Structure 1
Amino acid sequence: MLWFFFCIGLLILAYFTYGKIVEKIFVINPERKTPAHAMADGVDYVNMSNSKVFLIQLLNIAGLGPIFGPILGALYGPVAMLWIVIGCIFAGAVHDYFSGMLSVRSNGASVPTVVGDHLGAWAKHFMNIFALVLLLLVGVVFVLGPAKLLASLSPLNVMTWTFIIFAYYILATLVSIDKIIGRFYPIFGALLLFMSFGLTIGLIFSGKEFYSVGLDFFKNFDPSDPQLPIWPLIFITISCGAISGFHATQSPLMARCIANEKSGRMIFYGAMILEGIIGLIWCTLGLSFYDSPEALKAVISEGSPSKVVHDISIALLGGVGGIVAILGVVILPITSGDTAFRSARLIIADFFKLSQKEMTKRLYIAVPLFALGALISTVNFDIVWRYFGWANQTTAAIMLWAASAYLYKANKFHWITTIPAVFMTSVVITFLAYAKIGFGLNLQISTIIGVVGAIICLVLFFRLKKLPQNV
């Protein structure tokens, strides 16, 4: 457990140190009007308090990723916790800060517009399609996951809960952001905190310790496909707890509600740090609750990570406490799923330049969007999750390149985003070359392709033209 608390301490320390460095490099302007003031419309552009915006941002970004991903990552041993800490501090939180603050500087623009502003029109058009695909996958994943957990607690089946959750998503997507999301998220946040800290305390008093596995990065050990090794799979599997492109689609929602640029570090960098702590909690639970990775793998194979969540919550907190903890876990994906569809609506609206003040125009986009989401939800969950993981991390890499382009062209220190951009690019290219959903090539060849691809991206990056002065 000392390793767990050491990792938690590193994340908290990073917020007060590296977070300030990131903020200083970006250069905030507290006197500049944010979109919440300059473009207030009472629907999506709504000025809200820092505490409320922070909580909504956390619940928006913390879906199933920081729970299911670290549980699967626990199969590889304590190295999973190492990636959560390093990835969160130097990649994930930096990614979230720039995706949020660059949106603030672009009038609350969605991620395709932000990417297009800094990488060109071709990148904008690509991201319009790619972001919509990702958001649909996220929305579907964040319906099926909580539906399975709720079905385990009630007489209703998964299909019924899927219908109920979709109905809520439709309502939350259409109404003003302060009517449901802004009003009920504080209650949801209380459940989230109970789940996180309650399970941590329960684990401490349980006396369980980590099981031990080797740190061989080419070790074959994955619950769904034994042919996929730690490299590059662990960086795809543990997404939201370390770095997640999905967050780039969510940060613009709060970029439209933030009152002042000086709050950006707390809201964007800070929310990711807290999500990293949630990821560490669940990774530690996966490492400690079961006697071996084989035992954890057997439970996952039997009922997906949802069964792990159910079993651990009931065992550590008892019947009532366990149910409350499970509800906290259910809330995470639901509060990300609704904003996933909301973000998709706004991206489409931005592309077609459709005003979203009128309910009828919101319906024009929402109805076909949810119909497509319902169709995708009939696909096997494991398949959807695998494609979601790759699309998620690819989006993160693209957003990091956009942030690097902004810093480079403005003659600012760009390596804080360029280094993680290069690394994540090599990860997603290697994964696509090696995985069965990609080209199925040899691992060594795939790794060479991934490294070469990342180097090519870096060379192209340095062909960008610098601006004459900082912006």
Structure 2
Amino acid sequence: MNGLTLVIVVIVLFLVAYTTYGSWLAKKFGVDPSRKTPAHTMNDGVDYVPAKAPVLLGHHFSSIAGAGPIVGPIGAAIFGWIPVFLWIIIGSIFFGGVHDMGSMFASVRHKGQSIGEVIGTTMGKKGRQLFSIFAWLTLILVIAAFANIVANTFVSVPEAASSSMLFILLAIFFGYAVYRKGVNLALGTVIGVALLIGAIFLGTNFPLSLSKNTWMVILLGYIFVASVTPVWILLQPRDYLNSFLLYAMLIGGVVGIVIMRPTLQLSGVTAFNVNGTYLFPMLFVTVACGAISGFHSLVGSGTTSKQLDNEKDIKVIGYGSMLIEGVLATLAIITAAYVTGGKLTELLGNGGPVNVFSDGLGSFMTSFGLSFTIGKSFTALAISAFAMTTLDTATRLARFIFQEMFTKENQTKETVFTNRYGATAITVIIAGSLSFYGWGTVWPLFGSANQLLAALSLLALAVWLKKNNKTNKFVVLPMIFMFSVTLVALVILIMQSLSQPILLIFSVILFVLAIILILEASKALKVDKIADVKKE
């Protein structure tokens, strides 16, 4: 099979899905362009700040993409490229896209509050508290997993490390110029992208080589600062500029594949059972962000909904971003299928899946004259930049949720738990402690928790739609499938974690919380049915 065929198929299908199914979803949800969003009605200059669609698309996509759609598909390649490719297509269109768009829309209609607060209005205080605990624990795993991925990338490709550090300074400069000095966005973008290219050039010539543990400490310090600063000074500008990195990487990868037309060496289908790992449920858990991700609901209802300028932007930012991520996941499975055998094992052992992806795309880019070293370094920089975006966004979201959990009604005085500095510190310390287990240990648990969070977000959306007298079948079917996948996966992980107390405790807590939330949702729906009968 030729890699070009996969790229053409996925792009055509996604364009059709965006035009048809995406528009249908907008009508079913009730998107209203004339309605003011929380970014305008609650503008506070810190978290609630209106952002133009291109800027917010950059933030949202950079935040949800990270290294997930790369690490997941490459990890799932043990089952062959066909199952992974099919799940990327089906999942992105009918699962992930619905999940992302719906959670963002529900949040916008609830003053930009998290999906946990939406649950509070539909399932009560208990449901909200349980979901918030679940979401916070999942974000802890997100931070632990992605801190490892970024640190590993910086060690294996030190050029990306130095470029990334320069990129942070550039983002602060860009944010200050555009949001405080009134520099035109178009002009600022041209200058910002030019300086970004300069940062890549300097990074390539002055690599920064540090140990993994040193990078872990630096990254944990960075995400603390990023979590407590206003979004306009770092989060928005860095994510916006990040998007150009990703678009360039995607275009470069696609053009390289068009010219090179790499032949897939990996078998289409290997086996249902690969060394004790079963395709069901582990394929759907491992691919994670490449098809559907619960983390996306936290981003959409955490930072993105607070910056949405107009409801009409929900389709392109919510549904569109998931489809673009599906394209990225397709490129990832092509690189894994192209780089096989002993070299694949070597690359995985020295830098993990991101190294495999960087090596593959670097090879593809040589087809149009770019040197392999520059192509690989650029790809590694782009992915590490997105992974860092996921890190700082996840930390900010965890801070939001932690503060919400401990904030009482009519509370006027802050505590260490409701203060943004205290909430961030607690989150970073716990996640940092878990991160030293290594990404290989944390990722399976993250994948299960993340996909279970997606199922719970779909559950919350289904109940919310029902209570607002809207059809919810297009949400219920994906929800049922995701619950069946993730609960089975968690049981397997519980059995495998008996010798690792911390991971075992995490697995058991997540499983129990999910079951209780399902029961709470059933009660809420049952009450609605009884009320409907009485009305009749």
Structure 2 length-normalised TM: 0.78
**Aligned equivalents of 1:303 and 1:257: distance in 2?**
35
Matching residue of 2:174: none
Aligned letter for 1:325?
T
Which of 304, 307, 310 is matched with 2:352 structurally?
A: 304
Matching residue of 1:237: 286
Matching residue of 1:463: 526
Matching residue of 1:110: 114
How do 1:252-267 residues align onto structure 2 when only pairs under 5 Å count?
A: 252=301, 253-267=303-317
Matching residue of 2:463: 405
**Aligned equivalents of 1:355 and 1:322: distance in 2?**
52
**Aligned equivalents of 2:389 and 2:65: distance in 1?**
8
Choose 94-103 or 358-367, whichever is displaced more. Answer: 358-367
How do 1:180-195 residues align onto structure 2 when only pairs under 5 Å count?
A: 180-195=234-249
Matching residue of 1:387: 445
How do 1:1-400 residues align onto structure 2 when only pairs under 5 Å count?
A: 1-76=4-79, 77-154=81-158, 155-211=209-265, 213=267, 215=269, 219-221=272-274, 226-252=275-301, 253-290=303-340, 296=344, 299-300=347-348, 303-317=351-365, 318-353=372-407, 361-400=419-458
**8 Å CA contact 1:116, 1:123 repeated in 2:** yes
**Aligned equivalents of 2:413 and 2:236: distance in 1?**
18
**Aligned equivalents of 1:383 and 1:12: distance in 2?**
37
| Post-superposition offset of 1:355 | 8.1
- Cα 1:234–1:355 change in 2 (3 A) is farther
1:239 counterpart SS class: helix
Choose 430-439 or 268-277, whichever is displaced more. Answer: 430-439
1:78 counterpart SS class: helix
- Cα 1:285–1:309 change in 2 (3 A) is closer
**8 Å CA contact 1:35, 1:107 repeated in 2:** yes
| Post-superposition offset of 1:304 | 2.5
| Post-superposition offset of 1:295 | 6.3
- Cα 1:147–1:303 change in 2 (3 A) is closer
RMSD between aligned residues: 2.8
- Cα 1:208–1:435 change in 2 (3 A) is same
Task: Spell out, residue by residue over 1:263-301, the C-alpha distance to the aligned partner (whole angstroms, 9 max, x if none).
Answer: 1111111111111111111112212233x6x86456435
**Aligned equivalents of 1:120 and 1:177: distance in 2?**
31
**8 Å CA contact 1:66, 1:275 repeated in 2:** yes
Task: Spell out, residue by residue over 1:335-378, the C-alpha distance to the aligned partner (whole angstroms, 9 max, x if none).
Answer: 11100000011112222237899999321222222222221122
| Post-superposition offset of 1:72 | 1.5
**8 Å CA contact 1:393, 1:424 repeated in 2:** yes
| Post-superposition offset of 1:59 | 0.7
Task: Spell out, residue by residue over 1:191-226, the C-alpha distance to the aligned partner (whole angstroms, 9 max, x if none).
Answer: 11222221232233334212353547x6122xxxx2
1:421 is aligned to 2:469: no
Task: Spell out, residue by residue over 1:134-161, the C-alpha distance to the aligned partner (whole angstroms, 9 max, x if none).
Answer: 1111112111101111111222121222
| Post-superposition offset of 1:87 | 0.4
- Cα 1:436–1:127 change in 2 (3 A) is closer
| Post-superposition offset of 1:124 | 1.2
- Cα 1:44–1:185 change in 2 (3 A) is same
- Cα 1:464–1:14 change in 2 (3 A) is farther
- Cα 1:33–1:333 change in 2 (3 A) is same
| Post-superposition offset of 1:462 | 5.4
Matching residue of 1:445: none
**Aligned equivalents of 1:307 and 1:329: distance in 2?**
10
Aligned letter for 1:108?
G
**Aligned equivalents of 2:423 and 2:493: distance in 1?**
34
**Aligned equivalents of 2:97 and 2:103: distance in 1?**
10
| Post-superposition offset of 1:302 | 5.9
- Cα 1:102–1:303 change in 2 (3 A) is same
**8 Å CA contact 1:233, 1:431 repeated in 2:** yes
**8 Å CA contact 2:7, 2:327 repeated in 1:** no
- Cα 1:438–1:419 change in 2 (3 A) is farther
Task: Spell out, residue by residue over 1:428-464, the C-alpha distance to the aligned partner (whole angstroms, 9 max, x if none).
Answer: 1221233455699xxxxxxxxxxxx9xx979768525
**Aligned equivalents of 1:119 and 1:315: distance in 2?**
51
Task: Spell out, residue by residue over 1:90-114, the C-alpha distance to the aligned partner (whole angstroms, 9 max, x if none).
Answer: 0101000111111101111112112
**Aligned equivalents of 1:203 and 1:357: distance in 2?**
54
**8 Å CA contact 1:432, 1:439 repeated in 2:** no
**8 Å CA contact 1:63, 1:336 repeated in 2:** yes
Aligned letter for 2:467?
K
**8 Å CA contact 1:35, 1:104 repeated in 2:** yes
1:178 counterpart SS class: coil
| Post-superposition offset of 1:167 | 2.4
**Aligned equivalents of 2:236 and 2:348: distance in 1?**
35
1:432 is aligned to 2:490: yes
**Aligned equivalents of 1:152 and 1:271: distance in 2?**
29
| Identity value in percent | 31
2:31 counterpart SS class: coil
**Aligned equivalents of 1:40 and 1:70: distance in 2?**
39
**8 Å CA contact 2:354, 2:383 repeated in 1:** no
**8 Å CA contact 2:82, 2:268 repeated in 1:** no
**8 Å CA contact 1:60, 1:339 repeated in 2:** yes
**Aligned equivalents of 1:358 and 1:189: distance in 2?**
37
Choose 118-127 or 16-25, whichever is displaced more. Answer: 118-127
| Equivalences, count | 449
Choose 302-311 or 34-43, whichever is displaced more. Answer: 302-311
**8 Å CA contact 1:138, 1:337 repeated in 2:** yes
Task: Spell out, residue by residue over 1:294-323, the C-alpha distance to the aligned partner (whole angstroms, 9 max, x if none).
Answer: 864564356531331343244333111221
| Post-superposition offset of 1:399 | 0.5
**8 Å CA contact 2:122, 2:524 repeated in 1:** no
Choose 133-142 or 108-117, whichever is displaced more. Answer: 108-117
2:309 counterpart SS class: coil
**Aligned equivalents of 1:214 and 1:256: distance in 2?**
43
Aligned letter for 1:254?
T
2:112 counterpart SS class: coil
